[in-house]
Chains A and B, each alone.
Chain A
Amino acid sequence: DAGVIQSPRHEVTEMGQEVTLRCKPISGHDYLFWYRQTMMRGLELLIYFNNNVPIDDSGMPEDRFSAKMPNASFSTLKIQPSEPRDSAVYFCASTPWGGLDGELFFGEGSRLTVL
């Protein structure tokens, strides 16, 4: 299995620029999650999808953040405009429906630096 694939692995951009992070979940997984990790706040859930539909986006910090899942094999997290405080590692994770064991499969993360 290829696992959850995220791109880019590293992104350095300047304040005000648009950033798009991408995620390909494991095939057959119905749930997709976006997390953000910083030293100060730890791992935070931003948003999650079920069958491509956003279920809970209460963790999205502000309107500058948006996430989409146009099909079962692709999701994007967009930040526009980016700010230095958005610097973090962004993780995508997926899990199948009926996952009573609760195992989330995480990608390697996208490390974002906003200058």
Chain B
Amino acid sequence: DAKTTQPTSMDCAEGRAANLPCNHSTISGNEYVYWYRQIHSQGPQYIIHGLKNNETNEMASLIITEDRKSSTLILPHATLRDTAVYYCIVRVSLGGNTPLVFGKGTRLSVIA
């Protein structure tokens, strides 16, 4: 699986959009971009994933550049409960399951 690069930490004001970047310049054509987050002392939680189109769900939006070498996770209106470590993972998904390999992630602090 391709490697990802994320900033170590970010701050965001409560109520503002949080934009979390991820670089994955060696991504292959059959690799998906996944985002998970881990709130303190809890297990990681799935947020969203995409291949090449932008995706949106009730939690967040995922913007993938046209060349697929980077992506941005957007939390449109961050709340204090969004304070967590956010992991960007690229992974081949063939209809089966290849394990998720977690990096260091970005520690997002939402500030009141």
Residues of A at under 8 Å CB distance from B? Answer: 4, 31, 33, 35, 42-43, 45, 48, 50, 56, 91, 93, 95, 97-109
Q: B43 touches which one: A31, A48, A91 (CB < 8 A)?
A: A91
- Contact flags (1/0) for B76-112 with A, using CB distance below 8 Å? 0000000000010001010111011111110000000
A104 contacts across to B, CB distance below 8 A: 36, 44, 46, 100
Q: Given A93-B43, A102-B49 in contact, is the A42-B103 Cβ separation under 8 Å?
A: yes
Q: Given A91-B43, A107-B43, A108-B42 in contact, is the A102-B100 Cβ separation under 8 Å?
A: yes
Q: Are A56 and B42 in contact (CB under 8 A)?
A: no
B41 contacts across to A, CB distance below 8 A: 109
Q: Given A98-B96, A100-B93 in contact, is the A108-B101 Cβ separation under 8 Å?
A: no
Q: List 24 contacting pairs A-B, 8 Å CB cutoff, sorted by A.
A: A35-B102, A43-B44, A45-B99, A45-B100, A56-B99, A95-B97, A97-B96, A98-B95, A98-B96, A99-B93, A100-B95, A102-B34, A102-B49, A102-B93, A103-B46, A104-B36, A104-B100, A105-B46, A106-B42, A106-B44, A106-B45, A107-B43, A108-B42, A109-B43
